[in-house]
Amino acid sequence: MQITLTHITYTYDDAPDQALVPVSATFAEGWTGLVGSNGSGKTTLLRLLCGELQPTGGQMAPRPAGVYCAQETERSPAGMDDFAVDFSGEALRVRRVLGVADEWPWRYNELSEGERKRLQVAVALWHNPLVLALDEPTNHVDAACRERLLAALAAYRGVGLLVSHDRELLDTLTSQCLFLGKGRATMRSGNYSRGREQEEQAQNAQIHERREAKAELVRLHQVKTERSHEAARADARRSKRTIPKGDRDAKARIDLAIYTGQDGKAGRRSVQMDARLAAAEQRLEQARVEKHYAADVWLDAEPSHRRLLVDMEEGCLAFGTGERLLLPVVPCLRIPHLSVAPTDHVALAGSNGAGKSTLIAALLRELNADLRLLYVPQELGAGERQKQLAALKDLPAARRGRALSIVAQLNSDPERVLAGSQASPGETRKLMLALGILNHPQLIIMDEPTNHLDLITTEALETMLATCPCALVLVSHDARFLEATTSIRWQIRRVRPESSEGSCLSSLLVHR
């Protein structure tokens, strides 16, 4: 099976501009990566290819029908209840490969984000759709879960569509990648790394072509100026107004020049130059170079004057809520004495379900109310995304401009963000970060900071946080990101409780 798109476009009802540039491409069996900046239309295209949206322009053949796995895990996946009661060989195989426990569908709201993501993908694979579209499938997942996902997705036989900031996942699964940019959609054969190399070569060639076209246009303008002056001088020479009435020879020479056509050469050459200039301007217009706005963003923060921002006593925390327990009920999160100084950069790591979010909840509860905090959670629901956009629009013009400048430096189009009624998950995270920076934070807590972000923005965010002058607490499964941005590590490990406490797993936090 294959799906062919011909000049497909899509525009949301509440948006002034197209959400998707005209796309012409063929998607065959196997995995195709969709690559582009936040807001380039990747999610829109996934939903079109699964039949969730209908295009506003162009044609699709055949009309697709598939399963779309959204970035967010706020809502349980469609068909989860049927999956929960299916114990056929295929359902058991999917559970085994992805490590999904039988009871997970019955307590979806209690699962960690990583466990929800695993269950979401399991239900999608269980449907065995002709088209499977995955939007950031490795968000929230730990290394072990990521390997399970990779094995499960590699076995899928159908038209697979993958949006991910995970370069290794893209390289392993994809056989072609569609690169989406401003006004263009280009399919590249091979995996992401090969396609990225082709993109860079094409970009360099386009930069060279634009430089050449610009130089040619400048040269032609100079020549036109010279020829215009020459034509003006010829007109002056042809005029008889300044010739004395009795100078018949001078008048005869002018008449001869007109008769032979010599006097019109300069004018004709000037007209010809206009045509050449128009062609050169068209060449320059066609030699467009896509700009990426990600740059070094100065994080306008400052360290607190307090000696400690966080000072948590040793004890046990209830899973989920982070509330203090008087007795070590299993399961719980046991913590040693923890502290965060004004300039500490702390990494919080651990497997899915080990208690990272539990600890963050407890930490937030114990912070002083007057501390200037910037907190970005793992997931932002639709209501929160609308709230952030409304907060941006309510700002005075100068502060709104500053926030949008930060959004632009993080590789999103500020005009597009401002024009819509709801930003994408990646754009919302950038917006939340930008709004928080305006308040000069003294402590920044980010839960899975790279989730939903494009690759260019991830690198820019890494640079920004590494040089942050205030305190940081970052929760992430991206070891390389944590290594670049933090110097203190809090590691949560699962341990077997003492036999007197039962057979459930508890968690131990090690501070080093």
Name the burial class of residue 242, with classes exposed (0-12), middle (13-18) and buried (19+) by CB atoms within 10 angstroms of its CB: exposed
Cis peptide before 62 (omega within 30 of 0): yes
Sheet holding 373-376, edge to edge: 324-325, 315-318, 332-335, 506-511, 488-495, 345-350, 471-475, 443-447, 373-376
* Per-residue pLDDT, 476: 87
Please, are residues 210 and 285 in contact by the beta-carbon 8 Å criterion? no
One-letter-per-residue 3-state SS of 197-255: HHHHHHHHHHHHHHHHHHHHHHHHHHHHHHHHHHHHHHHHHHCCCCCCCCCHHHHHHHH
Nearest residue to 349 (alpha-carbon basis) of 506, 480, 167:
480
Does residue 160 sit in helix, strand or coil?
Answer: strand
d(CA 185, CA 304): 47
Across the strands, what pairs with 508? Answer: 334, 493
Across the strands, what pairs with 490? Answer: 348, 511
What separation in angstroms does the CA of 68 have from each of 72, 123, 161, 175, 328?
A: 11, 11, 9, 20, 42
d(CA 291, CA 116): 36
Q: Which amino acid makes up residue 370? A: D
* Per-residue pLDDT, 342: 94
* Per-residue pLDDT, 421: 62
* Per-residue pLDDT, 499: 46
Q: Write out the E strands in 236-368.
A: 310-312, 315-318, 324-325, 332-335, 338-340, 345-350
Per residue of the chain (512 residues), give pLDDT as tens.
899 999 999 988 766 677 888 899 999 999 999 998 877 889 999 999 999 999 999 999 998 889 999 988 888 999 999 999 999 999 999 999 999 999 999 999 888 888 899 999 999 999 999 999 999 998 878 878 888 899 999 999 999 999 988 888 899 999 999 998 776 888 999 988 888 887 777 666 666 666 776 777 677 777 777 766 666 666 555 555 556 666 666 656 656 555 555 455 555 555 566 676 677 666 656 555 455 554 556 677 888 999 999 999 988 888 878 888 877 676 788 888 999 999 999 999 888 878 888 899 999 998 988 899 999 988 777 777 788 888 888 899 899 888 888 888 887 777 777 776 667 778 888 888 889 988 899 999 999 888 878 777 887 888 889 888 999 999 988 888 889 999 999 998 877 655 444 444 556 666 66
Helices 265-286 and 192-238 cross at an angle (nearest 10°) of 160
DSSP 478-505: -HHHHHHH-SEEEEEEEEPPPGGG-SS-
* Per-residue pLDDT, 501: 46
Nearest residue to 470 (alpha-carbon basis) of 436, 496, 441, 495:
441
* Per-residue pLDDT, 260: 52
